[in-house]
């Protein structure tokens, strides 16, 4: 099993950023309101994700670390309409096979209660011991790839790995405005984002994560057609220092990199006049979950739309209309 886990780890655990993503997705699935991410040395020395979600029962703690143990799917039919982010029961097993992992949790409101398990890249059944923990879960991952030197060697500089983590954090925090988020690196707080439930709060978060320049030069939009809804912000050509990497697209709350989506956006940009500009955007597409498959690949950045044509045309025409209306000095049309 250890080897199988390490092989699986190759798929899910590429670098500290992928660990953060998996742990945070678990925290989101647990119904947390607040998530804290803490790192040391770009995540290579330490990654800790702490949440205030439902927690894990004492008896389930060792199970959570075993492969294919998931509490999220009970039948194959359910796979069709998974609402939770993780469902394969591989992340914790994989991460614990290539790190020193500690899982502490409490399902109780009594903060003196709680349990923890420790796993050190071994297959041995982890032992459960009591530890006080507030309601929720903390996962601490130390010395990532300490026992897989080949993979450890692939880690880049602290700065680069940290950059990837911050990017993952940005995507996650942009996907859930209703949750509070903290990011700390080497004992310094980098982001502290309160939960936001109104448009002003949403804009504060976008500005905090992407910079005020992005927001000041962006057009806010919110358009619907049938069961499709597109909302968020797109950069206008006034944004002369637009960074090519500021492209965030969420489908039903999950970040997605998709050719069809990219094509529709690029087309709309090009058509309206923003020649030579990188489209920059934070956009949210909402549609009936029954017509989109978001679990095409384990890392889940891809989607498959049942009616790609319809989605493409909706994106293109919505953006085209919004951008044309915002075009400075010219009327729409
Ligand atoms: P998956 O998310 O695919 O189910 P994971 O290996 O990521 O698999 O997690 C295994 C199980 O551990 C989850 O199904 C869940 O029951 C439990 N778990 C992991 N992280 C948390 C958390 N932060 N809060 C509550 N339960 C958790
Ligand atoms: Mg998971």
Q: Which regions of the chain are under pLDDT 70?
A: 1-4, 6-11, 68-88, 122-125, 237-244, 273-276, 295-300, 328-333
- Answer yes or no: is the C-beta of 300 below 6 A from any ligand 1 atom: no
pLDDT the model gives residue 328: 61
- Answer yes or no: is the C-beta of 87 below 6 A from any ligand 1 atom: yes
Distance 252 CA to ligand 1 centre (A): 21
pLDDT the model gives residue 332: 40
Distance, in Å, from the CA atom of 29 to the CA atom of 305, rounded to the nearest integer, reads: 23
Residues 6+ apart with CB under 8 A from 163: none
**Predicted ipTM > 0.90:** yes
3-state SS, 60-122, equals HHHHHCCCCCCCCCCCHHHHHCCCCCCCCCCHHHHHHHCCEEEEEEECCCCCCCCEEEEEECC
Do 283 and 230 contact (CB within 8 A), yes or no?
yes
**Which class would CATH give 2-193?**
alpha beta
pLDDT the model gives residue 295: 65
pLDDT the model gives residue 240: 58
Q: Which residue ranges does the chain devote to CATH 3.30.230.10?
A: 211-326
- Answer yes or no: is the C-beta of 53 below 6 A from any ligand 1 atom: yes
Domain 211-326, what fold?
A: Ribosomal Protein S5; domain 2 (3.30.230)
Q: What is the pLDDT of residues 50-84, one digit of tens each?
A: 999 999 999 999 889 887 656 664 444 444 444 45
Distance 273 CA to ligand 1 centre (A): 47
Q: What's the predicted TM-score (pTM) here?
A: 0.89
| Helix H or strand E segment including 12 | helix 2-12
- Answer yes or no: is the C-beta of 94 below 6 A from any ligand 1 atom: no
pLDDT the model gives residue 178: 97
Distance 35 CA to ligand 1 centre (A): 15
Q: Which atom of ligand 1 is nearest to the CA of 95?
A: 6
3-state SS, 37-73, equals EEEEHHHCCEEEEEECCCCCCHHHHHHHCCCCCCCCC
- φ and ψ at 234, to 5 degrees? -125, 140
- Answer yes or no: is the C-beta of 27 below 6 A from any ligand 1 atom: yes
Q: Which atom of ligand 1 is nearest to the CA of 94?
A: 6
Q: Which residue ranges does the chain devote to CATH 3.30.565.10?
A: 2-193
Adjacent-strand bridge partners of 37: 49, 183
């Amino acid at each position: 099993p250890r080897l199988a886990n390490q092989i699986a780890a190759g798929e899910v655990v590429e670098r500290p950023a992928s660990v953060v993503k998996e742990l945070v997705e678990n925290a989101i699935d647990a119904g947390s309101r607040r998530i804290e991410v803490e790192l040391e040395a770009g995540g290579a020395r330490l990654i800790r994700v702490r949440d205030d979600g439902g927690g894990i029962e004492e008896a389930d703690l060792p199970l959570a670390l075993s492969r294919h143990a998931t509490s999220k799917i009970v039948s194959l039919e359910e796979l069709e309409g998974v609402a939770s982010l993780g469902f394969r029961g591989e992340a914790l097993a994989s991460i614990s096979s290539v790190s020193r992992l500690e899982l502490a949790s409490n399902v109780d409101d009594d903060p003196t209660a709680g349990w923890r398990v420790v796993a050190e890249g071994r297959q041995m059944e982890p032992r459960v011991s009591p530890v006080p923990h507030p309601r929720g879960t903390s996962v601490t991952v130390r010395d990532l790839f300490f026992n897989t030197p080949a993979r450890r060697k692939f880690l880049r500089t602290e700065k680069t790995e940290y950059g990837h983590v911050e990017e993952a954090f940005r995507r996650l925090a942009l996907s859930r405005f209703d949750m509070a988020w903290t990011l700390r690196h080497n004992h310094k707080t980098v982001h502290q984002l309160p939960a936001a439930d109104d448009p002003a709060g949403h804009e504060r978060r976008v500005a905090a994560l992407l910079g005020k320049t992005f927001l000041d030069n962006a057009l806010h939009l919110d358009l619907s057609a049938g069961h499709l809804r597109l909302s968020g912000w797109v950069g206008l050509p006034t944004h002369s220092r637009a960074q090519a990497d500021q492209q965030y697209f969420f489908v039903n709350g999950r970040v997605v990199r998709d050719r069809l989506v990219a094509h529709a956006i690029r087309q709309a940009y090009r058509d309206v006049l923003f020649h030579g500009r990188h489209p920059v955007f934070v956009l949210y597409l909402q549609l009936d979950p029954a017509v989109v498959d978001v679990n095409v690949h384990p890392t889940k950045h891809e989607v498959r739309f049942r009616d790609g044509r319809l989605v493409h045309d909706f994106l293109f025409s919505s953006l085209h209309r919004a951008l044309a209306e915002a075009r400075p000095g010219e009327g729409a049309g």
